[in-house]
Amino acid sequence: MAKSLIILLILSCFAFAQGEIEAAKKKAEAKKAEAEDAIKYAEEIKAEKKPRACTSTCEVKWKESQRKNIAAANAIAAIKKADAEAAERAVKEAENAMLYAKEIAAKKTADSIAAARKDLEEAIAKMTPEEQAKRIADSAAAAQEELRKATAEYNPEMVFIKGSNFFSMGCTKEQGAECNEDERPAHNVTLRDFYASKYPVTQRLWEKVMGSNPSRFQGENLPVESVSWNDVQEFIKKLNAATGKKYRLLTEAEWEYAARGGGSSKGQRYAGSNNLGAVAWYGGNSGQTTRPVGEKQPNELGLYDMSGNVWEWVQNWKDSYYSSGLQNNPVGPGSGTNRVYRGGSWQDNDIYCRVSRRHGAVPDTRSSAVGFRLALDR
């Protein structure tokens, strides 16, 4: 432990010294600039011409004044130049000293690490097999915790959703007379357990992963939008590489089951209520813009903004109508023209925000009304 502390102390001292050198460099550069200005001013003084209408008495006084001004300007320039050169020498000397100290410290650090490794090996050799196994387990747990901390900002908050032996998907009676043909027929679906993100993916997370923000309406806690289905696949690929997890889009059946409230569903028209304004930002209350996620009431599962704010891309290709009969974890057709998005948006009226409403677009479509939500297998 003491050796580790010494190493950390050495490294922190180097960091401090490097900061001091950088500050000294900036001061030296400022002094050099001052010297250059002073030399330039002295040259300007020398180049000054006597006034045109100048008597002999005037000329004598002007020459005396000019002589004094030139002498003063040259003196100031010389002082500034000497000051700048001294500052530059000091920086070089400090840098040379830093290099020498690093050479010595590197040897000491390497010796300390080697000694610490030897002490550890000797300690492990004296342990019983049970003690060794516990140490390995503790080390693995510590490594896992460090990984969790390092990737925490990349992992959205997820909600566990218990699967269903069957739920009724599509144009169920509470959806009223506004159902389109592609919402028919209502049919039963079986789903395995899964996780869904508590909120639509925000601009904060998108920018963290992708390094840019394509959204029309800017704000780190606003849902990301103006992203195509293809863009989302690239985001998921990078997010999975950063976290070691296997995030994906929800299937259309998973999305509707989650929006309806899963096993806790109260059979409501929108995601969490029959009163759209309580759970959604839509054309009637949004002010024609997206809004920060999570400001409206959640649905029965604790999911926010599944109706309104932004449409959400799902995994499926879009078909013209559903197949009848019980379906087990359906993923939709194997190919198609349009990918599905669900839920309605900030610019839509109430019928578009119903939990069974379906829409789709070609996978490279970008719209300020379309974002997405993530899923994760159990």
**Alpha-carbon distance values, 323 to 174, 178, 217 (Å):** 20, 20, 38
> Would 134 be classed as within a structural domain?
no
Among residues 68, 98, 120, the one where a domain terminates is: 120
Q: Is 204 exposed, middle or buried (0-12, 13-18, 19+ CB in 10 A)?
A: middle
HSE-up of residue 9 (Cα within 13 Å, Cβ side): 8
At 73 the pLDDT is 64
* pLDDT at residue 3, as a whole number: 45
Quick one: tokens of 69?
A: 């001004």
State whether 198 and 308 are in the same domain. Answer: yes
157 and 298 both lie in a single domain: yes
Q: Are 109 and 166 found together in one domain?
A: no
Whether residue 201 sits in one domain with residue 108: no
Residues 175 and 271 in one domain: yes
Is residue 140 a part of any domain in this protein? Answer: no
132 found inside a domain? no
| Last residue within a domain, chosen from 67, 97, 120 | 120
Would 356 be classed as within a structural domain?
yes
Pick the last residue of a domain from 95, 120, 145. 120
Question: Do 107 and 164 reside in the same domain of the chain?
Answer: no
In a domain, 305, yes or no: yes
Q: Tell me if 126 is assigned to some domain.
A: no
What's the confidence (pLDDT) of residue 301?
Answer: 98
Pair (34, 86) in one structural domain = yes
Of 162, 150, 362, 370, nearest to 243 by C-alpha is 150
Angle at which helix 56-125 crosses helix 2-47, to 10 degrees, equals: 170
Question: Same domain for 204 and 314?
Answer: yes
Residues 218 and 78 in one domain: no
Which pTM was predicted? 0.64
Are 99 and 222 in a shared domain? no
Q: What is the predicted pLDDT for the residue at 58?
A: 67
Domain count, the chain: 2
Q: Give, for all 378 residues of the chain, the pLDDT tens digit.
A: 444 444 444 555 555 556 666 777 787 788 788 878 777 776 776 676 666 666 667 667 667 766 766 776 676 777 767 777 876 776 677 677 666 666 665 555 556 656 766 777 787 788 888 876 787 777 767 766 766 666 778 899 999 999 998 899 999 999 989 999 999 999 999 999 999 999 999 999 999 999 999 999 999 999 999 999 999 999 999 999 988 999 999 999 999 999 999 999 999 999 999 999 999 999 999 999 999 999 999 999 999 999 999 999 999 999 988 888 889 999 999 999 999 999 999 999 999 999 999 999 999 999 999 999 999 998
Residues 244 and 371 in one domain: yes
Helix or strand (DSSP H, E) at 254: helix 252-259
Task: For residues 18 and 129, give the distance between their C-alpha atoms in angstroms, rounded to a whole number.
Answer: 46
Task: Find the domain containing 308 and state its range.
Answer: 153-377
Predicted local confidence at residue 110, as pLDDT = 59
User: Quick one: 196 and 80 in the same domain?
Assistant: no
pLDDT at residue 2, rounded to an integer: 45
CA dihedral angle for residue 246, residue 249, residue 255, residue 257, rounded to 10 degrees: -20
Domain CATH for 205: 3.90.1580.10
The structure tokens listed for 15 are 């960091």
Give a yes or no: residue 110 inside a domain. Answer: yes
Cα distances (Å, whole numbers) of residue 141 to 114, 138, 147, 155, 205: 25, 5, 10, 19, 27
99: in domain: yes
